[in-house]
Structures are given as structure tokens and as C-alpha cells.
Amino acid sequence: MRLISELEYRKLDIGERNMCKALDDLERIRFEEGEAQGFASGEAQGFTKGEAQGLAKGREKTVFELRRKGNLSLEVAAETLNLSLEEYARREERFFS
């Protein structure tokens, strides 16, 4: 259907291959639409991933700071972040260094 409407839209000049031009134009339009959709999808995925990473870092920062102030024990802080005691200690040390 789109091909027919595209062909009707094109002026018929003698010697011009309107069908080929219409097909080329449709291919270009389809590519541009696909590119735009792909970009929008990738952008949305990037925002979602970035937001999740930011929230995780914020949570980690909060736990590190509460622990350093003495409001959380090492065990509770590590458990809150689902880390072993050793991994928690490494990350906390790296955070404050």
C-alpha cells in the first residue's frame, strides 16, 4: 500500500524510473525510521541502566557513611549490600580513599 501511494506521489517524467526512485525512497525512509527507533530504544535503555547504577551507588554511599559514623555494624552494612565482609571492607576502603 505504501509503495502505491509513494508511486502516486511521484511525478511521471519521461525517461525517469519512478518505480526505482520510489523504491529507493522507501528504503531510505525505512532505514531512517529504523535508525530513529533504534536510537530511541538505545537511549531509553541507557537511561534505565544509568539510573539503576546511580541508585546502587547512592545506596552504597549511604551505607558506607552510616557505617563510618558508627550507625551500622560491619556485619549489617555488608549484609545490606549483599557483600561478604571482606568485599565490603575493600569497597568501603576504596570509597573513602
Q: Grid coordinates 511521471 are at which residue?
A: 12
CA dist 68 and 95 (Å) reads 11
Q: What is the pTM of this model?
A: 0.57
Give residue 42's pLDDT. 83
Give residue 39's pLDDT. 81
Give pLDDT tens digits along the chain (97 positions). Answer: 665 665 555 555 555 556 677 667 778 777 778 887 888 888 888 889 999 999 999 999 999 999 999 999 999 999 999 999 999 999 999 999 9
Q: Grid coordinates 529507493 are at which residue?
A: 24
DSSP secondary structure letters along 32-79: HHHHHHHHHHHHHHHHHHHHHHHHHHHHHHHHHHHHHTTSS-HHHHHH
Q: Which three cell numbers stand for residue 54?
A: 546511580
